[in-house]
Every structure is written in C-alpha cells, then in structure tokens.
C-alpha cells in the first residue's frame, strides 16, 4: 500500500513509519525539521500549518505513486495551562496545528481517494478528545474538533469506498511531553494552585506511559484490517475504563472523579 503520514520526526509518527515500512508498504512522511531518517521511508519537508506545503506533499506522492491508499493524520502539538491564562494566539496555534492541519491535508487527499474509489483515513484524536481534561482545555478542544469532523466525514465518504478511523491514544512515553507549551505566568499559578500539581501528575503519567511501538503495532493491524472499527482507544485498561465511566455515569459524578484524579 501507498501510505502518507504527517509528522514522522519522532514519537508515534516515527514508530508508525518504521513499522509500516517493515511491513512492506511504501511509506511517505512529512517533517518540519531535520531528523535521522529511516531507511526506505520517503521524507517530505512540509508543515501542516501551510496550505501550499500540504498540497505539495500530497501531490508528490500522487506524482510518484499514482495513488494514496492510506492517509494517517498524526502531526500535532499540545498547550497546557489554565484556560483563563492561555492567550488567543495559543488557542489559534493549537487549533491550527491539530485540527486545521488535518483539514488542510484532507482537502487534497479526499479528491484523490474519491477518484480512485477507495482509501483509508486514520486520524489521531486522543482520550482528551472524549473528555475535557483540566489544564489541557485547548488540547481537548482541538481533539474534540477532530472527533466531530471525522464523524461527519465518515458518513459522507462511505459511498466512495473510503474508511475513516479515529485513534484515541492514552498516555504514551514520547517527546510530546517535553515539547508541550505550558503557561508559565506566575499569576496563573497563584490563581490556580492546583495547576502545578495537575501538570506534574499529567507529566508523570505520560513519561511512565506505553511505548510508541505498541501503538505502531496496533496501527499496522488497522491498516491491514478488511473492515476496521470507527474508533480505537489505545491505552492502559485504567484509561479505557475511564471512557466507559464517562459514558455511563452522571456528568457530575464523572467530573468529581476527574477532579480527584487531577488533584483539583
């Protein structure tokens, strides 16, 4: 299969590119900065924040291979902090990267898949796209947007033989933790004393989380599946149970559980 992945510099993207290439697929991946390259993987310098970069990346794959069988929207970033103290520029950056980056790429991928009468779109959301996480509100909002977009898209493209799969990872040990932008305003810490405790808890969970190779193995199976599910929660059992609890408990009860977990 011909596969295009956004954001293969590190973490999920690199692990997926390595695994899918080893599976025998032809893998293309976008990157913004120079990085060690995986033998056999085709690297395309592109920023999902640029419409022209997204168009050129998709066109390069089509020019060289004639089709795109699987598109994996992986590129993303996180901004943490009290919503009151998050700037409007941070809100714009969070949505522009995580949600609009996906939209820009799909703007060019979808016509190609419709013409070839088939394809598979795999978009990365998060467990944070299923529940609003304290002090990660901007990140959760961007992932909620992906959930809604993909839910609508799935119904629209079904008649064209295109599958839409949403991946909802839990905590993983990747460079995402170190690269997260966090509100550092002293007033934010004064106004929200629980912010520092929550952030420390979040980072501890992430650094002690699953390895990206675990997720890459799951993606390998999803790419091969004849009829993939709409959603895949890839996480620890505890985090999968949290999604179930949100679905069955009264909202106030579940909020109380989250507040306790995040030391609010």
pLDDT tens digits, one per residue of 163-212 = 999 999 988 877 776 777 888 888 988 999 888 888 877 777 777 778 99
Residue 185: per-residue pLDDT: 84
Nearest to 32 by CA among 2, 54, 14, 9: 9
Highest-confidence range of 66-75, 176-185, 237-246, by mean pLDDT? 66-75
pLDDT at 33: 82
What confidence tens digit (pLDDT) does each residue in 1-35 have? Answer: 999 999 999 889 999 999 999 999 999 999 988 87
Reported confidence tier of residue 90, pLDDT bands at 50, 70, 90 = very high
CB burial class (10 A; 0-12, 13-18, 19+) of residue 237?
Answer: exposed
Spatial contact of 19 and 216, defined as CB atoms under 8 Å apart: yes
pLDDT for residue 26: 98
Closest among 52, 182, 48 to 123, alpha carbons compared: 48
SS3 (DSSP) at 210: strand
Distance CA 219, CA 224 (A): 9
Three-class SS string for 152-186?
HHHHHHHHHCEEEEEEEECCECCCHHHHCEECCCH
Confidence grade of residue 220 (pLDDT, cut at 50, 70, 90): very high
CB–CB of 194/29 below 8 Å?
Answer: no
Mean pLDDT of the chain: 93
Q: Would residue 262 show up in a list of annotated catalytic residues for this protein?
A: no
pLDDT the model gives residue 201: 78
**DSSP, residue by residue, 99-144:** IIHHHHHHHHHHHHHHHTT-EEEEEE--GGGTSPPTT-HHHHHHHH
Burial 71-110 (b: 16+ CB within 10 A, else e): bbbbbbbbbbbbeebbeeebbebbebbbbbbbbbbbebbb
What global pTM score does this model have?
0.92
Domains of the chain are 2-261 (3.40.50.720)
Q: Does residue 161 surpass a pLDDT of 90?
A: yes
pLDDT of 208 reads 77
3-state secondary structure of 213: helix
Indicate if the pLDDT at residue 240 is higher than 80: yes
pLDDT grade for 261, boundaries at 50, 70 and 90? confident
Q: Considering 139, 192, 195, 232, which one is annotated as catalytic?
A: 139
Interval 248-258: pLDDT, tens: 999 999 999 99
Q: Percent of the chain, pLDDT > 70?
A: 99
Cβ neighbours of 157 (radius 10 Å)? 19
Does residue 178 or residue 222 have the better pLDDT? 222
pLDDT recorded at residue 199: 82
Average pLDDT over residues 64-85: 95
Lowest mean pLDDT among 100-109, 124-133, 191-200, 228-237: 191-200
């Amino acid at each position: 299969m011909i596969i295009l992945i956004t954001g293969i510099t590190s973490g999920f993207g690199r692990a997926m590119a390595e695994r899918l290439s080893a599976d025998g697929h032809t893998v293309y991946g976008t990157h913004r900065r120079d990085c060690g390259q995986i033998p056999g993987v085709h690297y395309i310098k592109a920023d999902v924040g640029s419409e022209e970069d997204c168009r050129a990346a998709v066109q390069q794959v089509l020019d060289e291979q004639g089709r795109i069988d699987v598109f994996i929207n992986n590129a993303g970033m996180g901004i943490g902090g009290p919503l009151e103290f998050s700037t409007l520029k941070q809100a714009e950056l969070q949505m522009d990267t995580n949600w609009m980056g996906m939209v820009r790429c799909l703007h060019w991928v979808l016509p190609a898949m419709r013409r070839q009468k088939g394809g598979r779109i795999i978009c990365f959301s998060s467990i944070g796209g299923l529940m609003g996480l304290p002090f990660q509100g901007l990140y959760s909002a961007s992932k909620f947007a992906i959930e809604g977009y993909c839910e609508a898209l799935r119904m629209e493209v079904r008649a064209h033989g295109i599958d839409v799969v949403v991946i909802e990872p839990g905590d993983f040990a990747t460079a995402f933790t170190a690269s997260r932008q966090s509100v550092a305003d002293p007033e934010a810490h004064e106004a929200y004393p629980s912010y520092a405790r929550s952030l420390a808890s979040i980072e501890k969970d992430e650094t002690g989380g699953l390895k990206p190779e675990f997720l890459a193995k799951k993606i390998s199976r999803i790419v091969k599946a004849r009829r993939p599910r709409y959603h895949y929660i890839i996480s620890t059992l505890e985090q999968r149970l949290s999604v179930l609890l949100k679905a069955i408990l009264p909202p106030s009860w579940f909020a109380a559980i989250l507040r306790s977990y995040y030391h609010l």
